[in-house]
Structure 1
Amino acid sequence: MKKHCCEDMDYHANYQCEIHENPYECPDRVIIYDNKDNDYGLIIHDGGTSSIEIYFCPWCGTKL
């Protein structure tokens, strides 16, 4: 069973940086995925831990 809607979302939702342990500190990490709530968010790279919840995939347009 496919977990994410497309290959791009799968890549970004599962991205693991080799340099930054905290996903909010990594400039290459753009999507945060919460397994528990099945929520997706765009990370706000402002030094904090904020994200904006998204309801559609930015790459393929599928409803999340």
Structure 2
Amino acid sequence: MKKHCCEDMNYHANYKCDIHNNPFECPDKIIIFDEKDNDYGVIIHDGGTSSIEIVYCPWCGSTL
């Protein structure tokens, strides 16, 4: 697992749901991390697969 800027980001970026295979279907999954592009996003839970890219950690304020 990638080490993220803080414990909270590490938890949310690596969160794996026991019920939902698709992270966009899980209401508890709020941060999506793209290892390939090293991008973070907040998932928009509207039934699709959209997210809003973030460049600062919502918990500690570090640049991502």
2 CA distance for matches of 1:25 and 1:58? 21
Could you list the structure 1 runs, at least 4 aligned residues long, displaced by more than 2 angstroms after superposition. Answer: none
1 CA distance for matches of 2:4 and 2:38? 10
Structure 1, gaps ≥5 residues long:
none
Aligned equivalent of 1:39: 39
Aligned equivalent of 1:53: 53
Aligned equivalent of 2:3: 3
Shift of 1:3: 1.9
TM-score, normalised via structure 1 length:
0.96
Aligned equivalent of 2:23: 23
2 CA distance for matches of 1:3 and 1:37? 15
CA offset digits 1:1-59 (Å, max 9, x no partner): x7200000000000000000000000000000000000000000000000000000000
**How many residues are aligned here?**
63
Q: Which amino acid aligns with 1:32?
A: I
The CA RMSD over aligned residues, in Å, is 0.9
Structure 2, gaps ≥5 residues long:
none
